[in-house]
Every structure is written in structure tokens, then in C-alpha cells.
């Protein structure tokens, strides 16, 4: 029945009509606030959609192939296992640090190589994407 409450994972994520692949967005909260980014695709969780400002500038990325395994699970923050203390080693166990996996670096480069030429085509867009948005 449509009026029964669905769990969050089954909610329909609506995307604003103004956001299409290739749109430039400004990220509002978080570590990257004020940064201008290119929208690639919508993930099934609908993450971030309400936390960006859309700009009317778009670049054509119809020919850009985005790896299929870019899903929410790929981007989820990895919880590092806490070191288990064993006998006699209480002060020796080291904390695991977050390391960027080779797969991530490879994927990042693969996408960048496709998108950077598209950005360079538009005059001044590269500098614009470099700059940060702020109120003043």
C-alpha cells in the first residue's frame, strides 16, 4: 500500500531537474565546503543531493564512462579494526592508519583522465573549478 511507511532504504530519491550529469555544483557542508565540482551520477542512496547548490553551467560528459562499481558501498567510510591487545603486547600494537588503496587511485585517475579534457575545452572553467565559493 503506497501510504504505508517504507524504511529509508526503500525511499524514492528524487533528483532536482536542474541536476544532470555534467552540471557544476557547489558543495555546502563538510570538509569540502565551497568547492565547485562536476556532477557525475546519482547514487542509489541519494547522498548529498540536498546539500549542494546547482550552477547553470554544464559540461558535456555523455561520452565519459564512469566505473560501474562507483556505488554507495564503494564510498562508505571504512571502519578500521581496533588492535586487539594480546599478552605482553599492550603498548606495542600499532593503530591501523587509513591508507588509500591502489584500486581507488586507479579509479580516480581513470575518471580524471576522461573529465579533464572536457573541462579544458570550456574557457576559464578550470580556474573556476579551482576557486572556492563564499558569501563575501
Partner 1 sequence: MSERLWSKAIFVGYEWDLWSQREHMALLKIEGVFAPDGTEFCLGKRCAYVYKVKDNKVTPGGKPNKTRVIWGKITCAHGTIVMVHVKFQRNLPAKVIGLRIRVMMYPSGI
Q: Tell the smallest beta-carbon distance from residue 20 to partner 1 (Å).
A: 14
Closer of 30 and 88 to partner 1 (Cβ): 30
Residues lying near partner 1 in the complex (CB under 8 A): 16, 18, 28-31, 33-34, 50-54, 132-136
The minimum distance between CB 46 and partner 1, in angstroms, equals: 12
| Spatial distance between the Cα atoms of 103 and 108, rounded to a whole number of angstroms | 9
DSSP letter (8 states) at residue 40: -
Q: Which residues pair with 36 in a beta bridge?
A: 26
Which one, 51 or 106, has the nearer CB to partner 1? 51
Burial of 25 (0-12, 13-18, 19+ CB in 10 A): buried
Consecutive H or E run containing 53: strand 52-58
H/E element holding 85? Answer: none
**Nearest distance from C-beta of residue 30 to partner 1, angstroms:** 8
Nearer residue to partner 1 within complex by CB, 16 or 44: 16
Residue closer to partner 1 by CB (options 19, 115) is 19
Amino acid at each position: 500500500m503506497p501510504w504505508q511507511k517504507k524504511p529509508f532504504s526503500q525511499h524514492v530519491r528524487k533528483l532536482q531537474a536542474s541536476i544532470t550529469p555534467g552540471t557544476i555544483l557547489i558543495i555546502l557542508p563538510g570538509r569540502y565546503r565551497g568547492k565547485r565540482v562536476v556532477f557525475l551520477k546519482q547514487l542509489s542512496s541519494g547522498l548529498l543531493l540536498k546539500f549542494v547548490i546547482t550552477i547553470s553551467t554544464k559540461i558535456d560528459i555523455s561520452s565519459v564512462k564512469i566505473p560501474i562499481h562507483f556505488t554507495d558501498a564503494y564510498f562508505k567510510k571504512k571502519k578500521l579494526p581496533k588492535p586487539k591487545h594480546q599478552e605482553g603486547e599492550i603498548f606495542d600494537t600499532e593503530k591501523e592508519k587509513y591508507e588509500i588503496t591502489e584500486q581507488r587511485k586507479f579509479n580516480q585517475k581513470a575518471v580524471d583522465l576522461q573529465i579533464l579534457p572536457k573541462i579544458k575545452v570550456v574557457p576559464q572553467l578550470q580556474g573556476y573549478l579551482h576557486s572556492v565559493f563564499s558569501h563575501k
